């Protein structure tokens, strides 16, 4: 299940954003708490943080799925990821399939399963294919399956071997690491996996991703999911960068608008002043004629009609024409005579 992230920030097209903000990192994060000493309160906090920062999922041990489901039930987009065969991967295939089915029934949206590393090293292709295909089957179309291959324990040849098996079996993601072994994700591993699986699988990086710079590097390398436990500090820094960019953008817009208004006023001040004086002259003359008529005097009705035959927009238009100014085309809809 390849996911396509078309990220925009504050209604700005992605190609108009600075390069560091074109990929929204926090929307790719599986917010992870797999500490064996984790408590219910900590899991609830994990869910609240995921909702606040818009993480892709929370990643928890199977026993915490019901707690997460209750917390994330009301239409939340944040998904629930759980781990199977964690962290060593050497349970039997039957036990993994049972555990995955049980987790899905409890409400898991995504399964991160650790592959049997010993089988990879001894090239137990039949056993591995059987495990992968059975897990793909139990997850079905609606539950994402990520297979953890624990790169730090494998040679490059072994990484290529198991990545190919994952792609051929139809798993959704190849995941680099549990974060509980001797090493975590590396950019070299991401490139190797991507070159092996192409677009048949997505990639999740996990293990040792502690900073926004780390997470962004893996996202730019092609990881559509990132597993980490320091998600909040990463998200906070990303939001700070977004806000700084937006503030700078808003300030640039402010000065651009201000300069445009200033230029307009400078170009039209004399015209607008002249128009105001002409309107005042006409109003004074109108008042004089009305006072004359009210006192019983005779007035020239044609002169009165000519005095009233104008609107302000036409006076501005005629002034610009008379003084060789660039016509203000925004006045056209308000002109009675369009010539």
Q: Residue 57: phi, psi to the nearest 5?
A: -160, 170
Q: Is the dihedral of CA 153, 158, 164, 169 positive or negative?
A: negative
* Predicted confidence (pLDDT) per residue in 316-332, tens digit: 888 888 988 887 888 88
Identify which has the larger pLDDT, 16 or 97. Answer: 97
In terms of average pLDDT, the best of 20-24, 115-119, 320-324, 326-330 is: 115-119
Q: 3-state SS of the chain: helix, strand, coil percent to 5?
A: 55, 10, 30
pLDDT of residue 13: 62
Question: How large a percentage of the chain has pLDDT more than 70?
Answer: 93
State what percent of residues in the chain have pLDDT above 90.
64
Residue 306 CB burial class (10 angstroms; 0-12, 13-18, ≥19) = exposed
pLDDT at 8 over 60: no
| 293-321 pLDDT tens trace | 889 888 888 888 888 888 888 888 888 88
Annotated active-site positions, please? 112, 175, 204
Half-sphere exposure of 94 (CA within 13 A, CB side): 0
Residue 76 scores a pLDDT above 80: no
More confident residue, 89 or 17: 89
Task: Give residue 92's pLDDT band: very low, low, confident or very high (50, 70, 90).
Answer: very high
Whether 264 shows a pLDDT value over 50: the answer reads: yes
The pTM of this model reads 0.74
**H helices of 202-230, where?**
212-220
């Amino acid at each position: 299940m390849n996911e396509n992230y078309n990220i925009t920030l504050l209604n700005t097209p992605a190609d108009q954003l600075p390069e560091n903000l074109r990929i929204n990192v926090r929307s790719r994060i599986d917010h992870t708490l797999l500490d064996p000493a984790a408590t219910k309160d900590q899991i609830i906090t994990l869910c609240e943080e995921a909702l606040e920062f818009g993480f892709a999922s929370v990643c928890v041990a199977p026993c915490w799925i019901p707690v997460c489901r209750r917390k994330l039930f009301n239409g939340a987009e944040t998904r629930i990821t759980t781990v199977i065969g964690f962290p060593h991967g050497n349970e039997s295939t039957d036990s993994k399939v049972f555990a995955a089915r049980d987790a899905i029934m409890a409400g898991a949206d995504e399964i991160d399963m650790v592959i049997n590393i010993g089988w990879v090293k001894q090239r137990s292709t039949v056993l591995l294919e059987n495990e992968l295909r059975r897990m793909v089957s139990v997850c079905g179309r609606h539950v994402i399956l990520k297979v953890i291959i624990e790169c730090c324990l494998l040679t490059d040849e072994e990484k290529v071997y198991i990545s190919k098996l994952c792609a051929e079996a139809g798993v959704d993601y190849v995941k680099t690491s549990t974060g509980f072994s001797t090493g975590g994700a590396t950019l070299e591993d991401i490139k190797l996996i991507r070159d092996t699986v192409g677009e048949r699988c997505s990639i999740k990086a996990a293990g040792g991703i502690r900073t926004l710079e780390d997470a962004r590097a893996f996202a730019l390398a092609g990881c559509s999911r990132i597993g980490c436990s320091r998600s909040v500090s990463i998200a906070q820094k990303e939001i700070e960068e977004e806000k700084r960019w937006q503030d700078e953008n808003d300030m640039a817009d402010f000065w651009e608008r201000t300069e445009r208004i200033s230029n307009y006023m400078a170009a039209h001040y004399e015209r607008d002043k002249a128009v105001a004086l002409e309107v005042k002259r006409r109003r004074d003359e109108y008042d004089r004629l009305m006072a004359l008529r009210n006192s019983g005097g005779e007035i020239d009705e044609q002169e009165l009609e000519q005095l009233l035959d104008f609107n302000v927009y036409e006076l501005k238009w005629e002034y610009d024409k008379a003084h060789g100014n660039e016509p203000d085309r925004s006045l056209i809809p308000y002109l009675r005579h369009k010539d």
